[in-house]
Structure 1
Amino acid sequence: MINSNIAALTLMAAKPGWEVTGTLDHIKIFTLEEDTLAIKIEMQVQIPSELAFSLLSDFALHAHWNKYYLSSRIVQNVTNDDKIYHTTTPSVHGNNSNDDLILVSQRKPCKTSDPYMIAVKSIALPCVLPFNQNYCKSQIQCAGFLIYSDGNNSSLVSYYNQPTTADTSYFAANFTGLSEKTASACIQFLESRSSNLNTTSLCDNS
Structure 2
Amino acid sequence: MKNNHPCILPHIKPEPGDGERRYREAYARRKIRLDRKYVISCNQSEVPLSVPWDPSNQVYLSYNNVSALKMLVSKTDWVLATEINKVQLYTLEDNTFLSFKLDIRVTVKAKQTFNLLSDLRRRKEWDPYYKECQLLQQVNEDDAIYHVISTVRSAEGKLQDYVILASRRPPCDTGDPYVVAFRSVSLPTHPPIDEYSRGETLCSGFCIWSEGDKTKVSYYNQFTPGLVSQVTTNIAGLSSDFASTYQACERFLVENTKDSERDVNTPEP
Answer whether TM exceeds 0.5 for this pair: yes
Look up the match of 1:12: 72
Q: Which among 148, 152, 160 is matched to residue 98 of structure 1?
A: 160
Q: Which among 115, 118, 124 is matched to residue 180 of structure 2?
A: 118
TM-score (norm 2): 0.68
Q: Which runs of 5+ in 2 are unaligned?
A: 1-60, 262-269
Once the two structures are TM-superposed, the CA of residue 133 in structure 1 deviates from its matched residue by 0.5
Look up the match of 2:108: 47
Look up the match of 1:134: 195
Instruction: Kindly tell me the number of residue pairs found equivalent between the two proteins.
Output: 195
Q: Which residues of 2 match residues 14-29 of structure 1 at below 5 A?
A: 14-29=74-89
Q: Distance in 2 between matches of 1:43 and 1:146?
A: 11
Once the two structures are TM-superposed, the CA of residue 197 in structure 1 deviates from its matched residue by 7.5
Once the two structures are TM-superposed, the CA of residue 59 in structure 1 deviates from its matched residue by 0.5
TM-score (norm 1): 0.88
Q: Distance in 2 between matches of 1:161 and 1:123?
A: 16
Q: Distance in 2 between matches of 1:115 and 1:197?
A: 17
- Is 1:182 the equivalent of 2:242? no
Amino acid at match of 1:49: A
Look up the match of 2:63: 3
Q: CA RMSD in A?
A: 1.9
Q: Secondary structure at the match of 2:256?
A: helix
Structure that is richer in strand per residue: 1
Look up the match of 1:154: 214
Q: Distance in 1 between matches of 2:108 and 2:117?
A: 12
Once the two structures are TM-superposed, the CA of residue 195 in structure 1 deviates from its matched residue by 7.0
- For the 8 Å contact 1:122–1:141, the answer to whether it is kept is yes
Look up the match of 2:226: 167
* Shift in alpha-carbon separation, 1:115–1:44, aligned structure 2, 3 A: same
Q: Distance in 1 between matches of 2:135 and 2:161?
A: 13
Q: Which runs of 5+ in 1 are unaligned?
A: 199-206
Percent of residue pairs identical: 31
Q: For residues 168-205 of structure 1, give each alpha carbon's deviation from its aligned partner in whole angstroms, at most 9, with x where no partner exists.
A: 5323433442321211111111112127879xxxxxxx
